[in-house]
């Protein structure tokens, strides 16, 4: 089968590769339609590793995917041939302690597409457990279906935040994940979301959405803006989505007494954390690792029209041009949010 | 001072009455601008009592009010003369055990406007604690300010429900409170809200809002609709807002395993409750009594544009015509949601 | 294999019966040591049914069991031959929506021992998924291991109650489950537990435990006792464990403003529920269906010595006398809490 | 009135000082009986400041106090003359936004005894709001009453942790606060508490209590102990009570997937925080600032016998010897937990 293979750091190839397609009792076979290019895919391409995950053998990239069911295992009841679907790329051991608790995202034995040594799905066909395959509502396109995975991270952040209706939130960092968090926070009950970044083009993309207020921290201090907008009280929730250690300086000045900080961005190095600042306001801190039990509710929000992800798809490539898509993604144009690859012409 | 006085069951008068206007250290004096007519005001008019609260002496009606600050006590820091405000009509004993816990709504010593023997505010001026007086954002009109009180009940229901982003909800009962609950649930994170009633005109009002699906239970079984729309899983949250004991028959068929029922409507008599039905799905049941710590977040949602209450104001009267407003409210036209009275011409 | 078989309502036999013992990849084979007699076992014996579960064919009884692992499937990593274990009698579909959420107890597809048509384990050997088989700490005996199942219901009630440290609780009903709830509530953070019943012998058993105060409601009004002991404030949590519809009369008089009612007992008929009483205190109501993710924490509490279940084992029988054990259990001696059957001499 | 006055850093005097004793409507007057010496009192004595709180004028020390009501204001209903009581040393503005939310501990306007410039209560008499004065149950001595304040910090930590019954906890740091946290965690629902320190004498004090396992981290790696005791899963909750930045190195190795870290100790400097470590287990982090709504539940646990603080009172001094008590406290004997001063002979 053809696939986009990361041969080694810096070297991509579209070529044949042997991938298992055995259909287990609880599996479905899926013809892939659309695959999004994620920052992590690009990072494996440019750096060959993310933290402890190191590329040691050729690996197929891609984990944001939608497609059509072409076969179902004997035990599958929730899906049928012809269903349009999107897929959750992480598959846990369902018998594990974490999975039994409903937090299968932190099961140490999760297999996750395009995380070494697990192959991704930039390839025409795959087999996946039906339990982690979600039917697209009629009104949701394949392109939107392939956006569910990155949006699910924003949704997990919104869920972990335990938003109370009307909360005021801040999102630090206006990259793709920051925007997803902002949209999920708004759809999830916040009245207003301030999003901060140094990049005017990135902020312009977020500012398209009603309810999101961009703050260019090259021009204004975020703490000043928040103090002015909340009469000195602070935001109910601060989402850190930049992954920059610098974001932690003075971060508790932004939070109201009894508010929350949600850590989404993954700094490469440990950060300097102001314990006294957190304690004096008795701040709750939540952390976000991928998602669990989110895909179905993400789809509901997209289908209902409360969340519109289409403006974030800033480029679409045919599979044969997928290396060009990766080159563009690697170039880091601030006007780009999400590039997608079509597996079927 | 002039006021709309309920002399006794069935008898209203606009007349002079002595009302205390002493300004305490932590109080503000307010010139009332707009007052909404609430179902409870009407019920005191038509029945002379609500449950244990019985009218025993003439009482001024009205508790949904907005106005302008005309004086502030020496200790007030959050407001100044000229501020446009709305007021929380219940004032607890701040030293009570319930208030210290943050649940001041269930303080047994709450004084609540227009609940015997406490006078309401259908009168040109009142004095109120600054702590329960909320500044209207610039974009929020007096008419909207006077809608905050009924909307706050919907918000309290949404807060107690502990919505997870993307939840599917049902609201049983499409009266004014049911609509408020539906709007708060949507703004508070639900992806879709089904609202049920027998009255087509009431459902038509709710159906104006994107995200709300009306279900006429004179025509279709609600359980069938929900099963079809959720693939048999059920709704995450059911809000009972009709107050009808009949609504409890089969109510747990509507809820998903592990879902929630939120009781908002107040049945006059005890209901028949299917404990086994609740237990077999391990349903959580929440109850809603007025609201606490809600006005500020309700205002944020109105100011941000996420919630538009203006279409629900179906009639506006001058103070001199306020008895006519009560007559119309008492007539129970299903196309009416909220009538308001202007205290200032 | 020999087993205690309920042939039909009212007829028990110890006889050979064919039971599947195939060892799947994720299963363990267990030599059963001790099995407790549960009220539900007795109810199938005396009535032939519990609610919708009707005995239609001979069924092996018994679901409170401990034993020793004699074989492990190829995929099992958490257990080895020779481990002393107890078993969770309900096995869900791990791929179901409820299981993925961590609430596998409400998965509609759960198979539960000794619930028609699923056989129980009053038999010398069984096969069970390793994920629902729990190693006994060294200090926990087989007899205690077979008590984990009924204690788990009390623990689930304590978990659902969301006890805050120092809470005052009431348990209505001093049967075996009521006592389990009381012990779990105390171990789970309550400062005091009041337990009410009409039966002095039942109350005497509960009163052995420090922290539990018996209230004989044949002699005193429970509401009076609670008002006196809490200065009129009420209990933080009321657990209804009697299953009697009468318990619901005036039940909200017992709860503090903002407190909780936890429904554990299963009334045969719908109850009369005072919605207004619940709402006026904004009471939260939780329900309890079996348990999920509880066995390991129940074992921790027993092993640590915080919970001593041994005084509740009021009789032990050899397997050959198990019909006599059921006769005694069916006689309903109020001094009996738990009878156990030894499968190995 | 006589009082123990901290004249300036390093200089204590027992001398007359003018203290206001006006009895407001909602106040009580209290004859002080016992006052505990807190580490913060000692720190003001030895350093003249704690973080932003700097001693600029003579200040009476002492904030852990019990005594007897000698007069009540006209509006007081919960207390009467002769009641034995303990007092919550922080008094918020009850009208503030934080107080209305029930989190009055983080009200920026709290006045707290013996925190500059507010006087403490090492003096024979004081006046205090009745709402922050708690009646001692009959079985609770003055000495225990004066222990409620430090225990309340442990209780707040246990409350913020949201313990689920049977949780396994770790407390890092075996000083007075660490021990209080350990006792509160056990009483609050944990099955086992591991407490770590370098000091064998401190650990010996904690080890007196059933359920607490001391870990001398001069001899063993805490992570190794926890891995062995939890089969590699980790603790449900880690309480950081040492205030040492070093405690944060590798701290997430101790926590189970989906577990919690509770920050109690206040490091002087920012700490190095492993965001990636926290995120990969999706750890929740809670912080603890003093306490709110805790004194009554702390008293319930002491009165019920679930918590015995008496072994922690390691020395008692007459008021005339109170400077000696401070000298001993300042010497930092690891066998000392709490020294108390008797105001009445």
Among all residues of chain A, which has the CA nearest to that of B193? A304
Determine the average pLDDT of the residues in D321-325: 97
Q: Each residue of C220-246: b (16+ CB within 10 Å) or e?
A: eebeebbeebbeebbbbbbbbbbbebe
Within 8 A of B134 by CB-CB distance, chain D residues are none
Rounded CA separation C199/C337 (Å):
13
The CB density around residue B47, as the number of other CB atoms within 10 Å, is 12
The reply to whether residue B100 touches residue D292, judged by beta carbons under 8 angstroms, is yes
pLDDT score, position C51: 85
Picking from C78, C155, C168, the nearest residue to D165 by CB comes out as C155
Determine the average pLDDT of the residues in C253-257: 98
Determine the average pLDDT of the residues in C55-84: 97
Distance from CA of C139 to the nearest CA of B (A): 33
Q: Where are the alpha helices (DSSP H) in chain D?
A: 39-47, 97-100, 142-145, 148-161, 176-187, 200-206, 222-229, 275-280, 295-303, 322-331
Kindly give the pairing relationship between strand B284-287 and strand B255-263.
Answer: parallel
Picking from B94, B129, B293, the nearest residue to D101 by CB comes out as B293
pLDDT tens track for A201-223 = 999 999 999 999 999 999 999 99
Which positions 229-268 of D are in contact with C (Cβ < 8 Å)? 231
Determine the average pLDDT of the residues in B62-67: 98
The reply to whether residue A100 touches residue C26, judged by beta carbons under 8 angstroms, is no
Kindly give the pairing relationship between strand A168-172 and strand C125-129.
Answer: unpaired
Rounded CA separation A219/A145 (Å):
37
pLDDT tens track for D31-55 = 999 999 999 999 999 999 998 899 9
pLDDT tens track for B31-64 = 999 999 999 999 999 999 998 899 999 999 999 9
Sequence-distant (6+) residues with CB within 8 A of D287 are A275, A278, A279, A281, A282, A283, A284, A285, D160, D262, D263
Angle at A246 between CA A240 and CA A249, to 5 degrees: 85
* Residue B25 near residue B37 (C-beta atoms within 8 A): no
Q: Is B229 helix (H, G, I), strand (E, B) or coil?
A: helix
Within 8 A of A96 by CB-CB distance, chain C residues are 131
Q: Which residue, A340, A344, A345, A296, is CA-closest to A64?
A: A340
Distance from CA of C103 to the nearest CA of A (A): 7
Any D CB within 8 A of A281 CB: yes
Distances from the Cα of C173 to the Cα of A260, B91, C222, C241, C242, angstroms = 41, 39, 12, 5, 4
Within 8 A of D184 by CB-CB distance, chain C residues are 165
Picking from B165, B297, B306, the nearest residue to A164 by CB comes out as B297
Rounded CA separation C211/A9 (Å):
65
Q: Is C62 helix (H, G, I), strand (E, B) or coil?
A: coil
Among all residues of chain D, which has the CA nearest to that of C157? D165
Picking from D191, D298, D306, the nearest residue to C211 by CB comes out as D306
pLDDT score, position D305: 96
The reply to whether residue C300 touches residue D155, judged by beta carbons under 8 angstroms, is no
pLDDT score, position C74: 97
Any C CB within 8 A of D275 CB: no
Rounded CA separation C339/C317 (Å):
8
Rounded CA separation B262/B287 (Å):
6
pLDDT tens track for C155-189 = 999 999 999 999 999 999 999 999 999 999 999 99
Within 8 A of C129 by CB-CB distance, chain A residues are 95
Among all residues of chain D, which has the CA nearest to that of C236? D297
Distance from CA of C261 to the nearest CA of D (A): 18
Mean pLDDT of chain C: 97
Q: Where are the alpha helices (DSSP H) in chain A?
A: 39-47, 97-100, 142-145, 148-161, 176-187, 200-206, 222-229, 275-280, 295-303, 322-331
Within 8 A of C26 by CB-CB distance, chain A residues are 95
pLDDT tens track for A221-245 = 999 999 999 999 999 999 999 999 9
Sequence-distant (6+) residues with CB within 8 A of B113 are B62, B63, B65, B89, B90, B119, B120, B121
Q: Containing H/E element for C331?
A: helix C322-331
Banded model confidence at residue C345, pLDDT cuts 50, 70, 90? low
pLDDT score, position D345: 58
* Residue C69 near residue C165 (C-beta atoms within 8 A): no
* Residue from A53, A99, A257 to probe the interface with D (highest D Cβ count within 10 Å): A257
Kindly give the pairing relationship between strand A11-16 and strand C49-50.
Answer: unpaired
Banded model confidence at residue B1, pLDDT cuts 50, 70, 90? confident
Q: Which chains touch C (3 or more CB pairs under 8 A)?
A: A, B, D
The CB density around residue B39, as the number of other CB atoms within 10 Å, is 16
Within 8 A of B162 by CB-CB distance, chain A residues are 162
Picking from A165, A191, A298, the nearest residue to B166 by CB comes out as A298
Which positions 192-221 of C are in contact with A (Cβ < 8 Å)? none
Pair of tokens at residue A122: 């930039």
Within 8 A of D231 by CB-CB distance, chain C residues are 78
Alpha carbon dihedral B111, B114, B119, B125, in 10-degree steps, equals 100
Distance from CA of A256 to the nearest CA of D (A): 9
Any D CB within 8 A of B104 CB: yes
* Residue A272 near residue A245 (C-beta atoms within 8 A): yes
Tell me: pLDDT of D337 over 90.
yes
Banded model confidence at residue C268, pLDDT cuts 50, 70, 90? confident
Distances from the Cα of D6 to the Cα of D35, D61, D123, D149, D322, angstroms = 15, 7, 12, 21, 12
Tell me: pLDDT of B345 over 90.
no
Banded model confidence at residue A268, pLDDT cuts 50, 70, 90? confident
Distance from CA of D78 to the nearest CA of B (A): 10
Q: Is C221 helix (H, G, I), strand (E, B) or coil?
A: coil
User: Mind giving me the DSSP string for B109-136?
Assistant: T-EETTBTTB----SSEEEEEGGGEEEP
Tell me: pLDDT of D138 over 80.
yes
The reply to whether residue D300 touches residue C210, judged by beta carbons under 8 angstroms, is no
Any A CB within 8 A of B136 CB: no
Picking from B103, B160, B233, the nearest residue to C97 by CB comes out as B233
The reply to whether residue B257 touches residue C233, judged by beta carbons under 8 angstroms, is no
Determine the average pLDDT of the residues in A133-161: 98
Rounded CA separation D227/D194 (Å):
12
* pLDDT above 90 as % of chain C: 97
Among all residues of chain D, which has the CA nearest to that of C167? D297
Sequence-distant (6+) residues with CB within 8 A of A100 are C99, C102, C104, C131, C292, C293
Any B CB within 8 A of A296 CB: yes
Q: Give the C:D interface size as CB pairs under 8 Å.
A: 86
Within 8 A of A129 by CB-CB distance, chain C residues are 95
Distance from CA of B69 to the nearest CA of A (A): 18
Picking from A159, A165, A168, the nearest residue to B164 by CB comes out as A159
* Residue B34 near residue B342 (C-beta atoms within 8 A): yes
Within 8 A of B271 by CB-CB distance, chain C residues are 272-273, 275
Distances from the Cα of D270 to the Cα of A284, C92, D180, angstroms = 17, 47, 24
Tell me: pLDDT of C40 over 90.
yes
* pLDDT above 90 as % of chain D: 97
Determine the average pLDDT of the residues in A283-288: 98
Q: Which residue, C162, D263, D286, D235, is CA-closest to A286?
A: D286
What does pTM read for this prediction?
0.98
pLDDT score, position B344: 82
Q: DSSP letter at C115?
A: B
Tell me: pLDDT of A345 over 70.
no
Distance from CA of D291 to the nearest CA of C (A): 13
Mean pLDDT of chain D: 97
Q: Is B33 helix (H, G, I), strand (E, B) or coil?
A: strand
pLDDT score, position D1: 85
Distance from CA of B59 to the nearest CA of A (A): 34
Q: Which domains does chain C have, with CATH numbers?
A: 2-147+309-342 (3.90.180.10), 153-287 (3.40.50.720)
Task: Region of D65 please: left (phi>0), alpha (psi -120 to 50) or beta.
Answer: beta
Distance from CA of B135 to the nearest CA of A (A): 11
Picking from B105, B263, B276, the nearest residue to C266 by CB comes out as B276
ipTM value, please give it.
0.96
pLDDT score, position C60: 98
Q: Is B75 helix (H, G, I), strand (E, B) or coil?
A: coil
The reply to whether residue A101 touches residue D263, judged by beta carbons under 8 angstroms, is no
Q: Is A62 helix (H, G, I), strand (E, B) or coil?
A: coil
Distance from CA of C161 to the nearest CA of D (A): 10
The reply to whether residue C287 touches residue B272, judged by beta carbons under 8 angstroms, is no
Among all residues of chain A, which has the CA nearest to that of C130? A95
Among all residues of chain A, which has the CA nearest to that of C97? A131
Banded model confidence at residue C52, pLDDT cuts 50, 70, 90? confident
Q: Which chains touch A (3 or more CB pairs under 8 A)?
A: B, C, D
Any D CB within 8 A of A49 CB: no
Provide the angle, in degrees to the nearest 10, between the axes of the packed helices B148-161 and B176-187. 60
Distance from CA of D52 to the nearest CA of A (A): 11
Distances from the Cα of B307 to the Cα of A288, B254, B315, angstroms = 29, 26, 19
Distance from CA of C300 to the nearest CA of D (A): 6
Q: Which residue, A341, A197, A268, is CA-closest to A47?
A: A268
Determine the average pLDDT of the residues in D176-192: 98
Determine the average pLDDT of the residues in B7-30: 96
């Amino acid at each position: 089968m053809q696939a986009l293979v990361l041969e080694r750091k810096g070297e991509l190839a579209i070529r044949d590769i042997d991938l298992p397609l055995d259909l287990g009792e609880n599996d479905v076979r899926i013809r892939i339609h659309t695959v999004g290019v994620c920052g992590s895919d690009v990072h494996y391409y440019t750096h060959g590793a993310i933290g402890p995950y190191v590329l040691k053998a050729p690996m197929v990239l891609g984990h944001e995917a939608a497609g059509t069911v072409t076969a179902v295992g004997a035990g599958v009841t929730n899906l049928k041939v012809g269903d349009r679907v999107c897929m959750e790329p992480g598959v846990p051991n369902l018998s594990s302690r974490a999975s039994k608790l409903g937090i299968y995202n932190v099961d140490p034995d999760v297999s996750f597409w395009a995380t070494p040594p697990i192959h991704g799905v930039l390839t025409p066909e795959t087999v996946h457990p039906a339990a982690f395959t979600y039917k697209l509502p009629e009104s949701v396109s394949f392109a939107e279906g392939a956006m569910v995975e990155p949006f699910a991270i924003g949704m997990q952040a919104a869920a972990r935040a335990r938003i109370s209706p009307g909360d005021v939130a801040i999102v630090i960092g206006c990259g793709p994940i920051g925007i997803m968090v902002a949209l999920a926070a708004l759809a999830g009950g916040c009245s207003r979301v301030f999003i901060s970044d140094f990049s005017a083009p990135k902020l312009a993309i977020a500012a398209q959405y009603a309810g999101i207020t961009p703050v260019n921290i090259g021009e204004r201090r975020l703490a000043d803006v928040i103090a002015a907008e909340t009469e000195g009280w602070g935001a109910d929730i601060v989402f850190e989505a930049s992954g920059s250690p610098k974001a932690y300086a003075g971060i508790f000045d932004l939070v109201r007494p009894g508010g929350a900080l949600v850590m989404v961005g993954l700094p490469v190095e440990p950060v300097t954390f102001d314990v006294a600042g957190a304690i004096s306001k008795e701040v709750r801190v939540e952390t976000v690792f991928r998602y669990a039990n989110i895909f179905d509710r993400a789809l509901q929000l997209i289908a209902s029209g409360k969340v519109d992800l289409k403006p974030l798809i800033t480029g679409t490539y045919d599979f044969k041009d997928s290396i060009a898509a990766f080159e563009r993604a690697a170039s880091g144009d601030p006007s780009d949010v999400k590039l997608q690859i079509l597996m079927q012409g």
